[in-house]
Amino acid sequence: MDISIHDSIESIKTDWLEAEKTANISVYQRYHWVEAYLQANSKTEKIQPFIIVGRLKNDIVFILPCALHGRFGTRVKFIGGKHVNFNLGIFPQAFRDVITPRCFGQIFARIRKLVPGIGYLGLCCQPENWNGSPNPLLREPHQRSANPAFLINLSGGFDETLARGNAKRKRKKFRQQVRQCEALGGYQLYKPEGSEEINYLIDQFLAQKSKRLKSLGIKDVFADEGIKEFLVGLATSSTKHKSPLLQLYALKIGNQTAAVFGAGAMGKHLSGYFSSIDAEQFGEVSPGEMLLYLVVEDACAQGYEMFDLGAGDERYKRSWSTDKIDMYDMIVPYNYKAAPVVYLRRAYGAVRRTIRENETYWNAYKTIRKMIPSLWNKA
């Protein structure tokens, strides 16, 4: 197998687009999603693409959409950072069953020789499997992440989807919410189509998200420069597209935006990317929960078969999900200088997971987080 490293995504555009036609990937590995992220964020931060490509007799065997980070102790990470819920390699169907974790043990050793200046690999937020296929990247030492992911099986339509998760309670709750909304001027599931509508709704989302995260003491990654341009670009290019990079949904109560939800698609799989609510004005309605009900209903009508709610363990996700996927972080030193950093990051990940999985520790942490916002923001 020939291994090559590319510092420009455009140089392998044709091969990438061909590979993703049969690859088992999420929306976050689609060429145009990665391209949009790089274009929007390269204006405010230096991103050095490090696209790893494997070929066998000119056929693409795999593509790893990575980038180099750090001046001192250079590390290889997936492109997209915290804006990617699922990091995966791109494996065309012809080679999907023959590329195993054992293969990647040798492939990573070859990359280490090709680029001797790398400090370590930091390939995080990887699902253990995707749509039934195991993740062959999980070969090197890895550890379970603090946040699993939750999925909803949409097969059979909306009625069957509801039946898999306490349909009676969900319908009763929704009817109650409808009555509350009618008293406030009615409700509407809104999907913007024009650029002006998209810009307005993105602004609504960013404002709601910022306020909510600030109240919880959590760093707002959506406040970074370039992110608004990125989101607007994704949504605008996806207008009336059968497989949108970003589809925006909003719950309007009266004339106000009560909640916003963003999701992207790859084939028949819809991935929830972000959400926000106006808790001050519409908190009693539980607008986020109501919007999710409407989004699931719409996704079924659009013919999607699977809907993931991203990484993170929350009550509303468990109430809807039919499956859970454990996520893993693979942090591997490439030289002795990086070893202390790697071991500290692994230890930090283990502590974080322990806190997240213990209800007492987690509740105590959330209280502290509100008091000292910078504590968790450095993660």
Measured CA to CA, the distance from residue 128 to residue 325 in angstroms comes to 7
CATH code (residue 239): 3.40.630.30
pLDDT for res 103: 85
Q: What is the mean pLDDT of the chain?
A: 90
User: Which of 366, 316, 352, 310 minimizes the C-alpha distance to 85?
Assistant: 310
Q: What is the pTM of this model?
A: 0.92
- Number of domains observed in the structure of the chain: 2
210 in a structural domain: yes
Mean pLDDT of all residues in 291-298: 97
- The edge-to-edge listing of strands for the beta sheet with 269-277 is 187-190, 247-253, 256-266, 269-277, 306-311, 149-153, 323-325
309 in a structural domain: no
- Torsions phi, psi of 29, nearest 5? -105, 0
Same domain, 166 and 297: yes
Residue 240 predicted with pLDDT over 80: no
Measured CA to CA, the distance from residue 68 to residue 79 in angstroms comes to 9
Residue 44 predicted with pLDDT over 80: no
Mean pLDDT of all residues in 308-312: 87
Residue 379 predicted with pLDDT over 50: no
- Position 116, amino acid: P
Measured CA to CA, the distance from residue 121 to residue 338 in angstroms comes to 10
Same domain, 59 and 105: yes
Same domain, 98 and 30: yes
Same domain, 129 and 177: no
pLDDT for res 72: 55
Q: Taking the CA atoms of the chain, what radius of gyration do you get in angstroms?
A: 21
Mean pLDDT of all residues in 359-376: 74
113 in a structural domain: yes
Same domain, 95 and 114: yes
Measured CA to CA, the distance from residue 66 to residue 40 in angstroms comes to 16
Q: pLDDT (tens digit, 9 = 90+) per residue, 200-210?
A: 999 999 999 99
38 in a structural domain: yes
The b-or-e profile of 193-221 (16+ CB within 10 A means b, else e) is eeeebbbebbebbbebbeebbeeebbbee
Same domain, 143 and 195: no
Same domain, 239 and 178: yes
Say whether 341 sits in a helix, a strand or coil. helix
322 in a structural domain: no
Q: pLDDT (tens digit, 9 = 90+) per residue, 71-108?
A: 656 899 999 988 999 999 999 999 888 888 788 888 98
- Structure tokens of 279? 């808790």
Residue 373 predicted with pLDDT over 60: no
Residue 140 predicted with pLDDT over 80: no
59 in a structural domain: yes
85 in a structural domain: yes
Same domain, 126 and 206: no
User: Residue 174: which domain range?
Assistant: 155-304
Same domain, 172 and 139: no
Same domain, 195 and 297: yes
Measured CA to CA, the distance from residue 309 to residue 124 in angstroms comes to 18
156 Rama sector, left if φ>0, alpha if ψ -120 to 50, beta otherwise: left
End-to-end Cα spacing for the chain: 37
Q: pLDDT (tens digit, 9 = 90+) per residue, 247-271?
A: 999 999 999 999 999 999 999 999 9
- Structure tokens of 76? 């290889």
311 in a structural domain: no
8 A C-beta contact, residue 123 and residue 78: yes
Task: Give the H/E segment covering residue 361.
Answer: helix 359-371
Same domain, 142 and 162: no
Same domain, 117 and 256: no
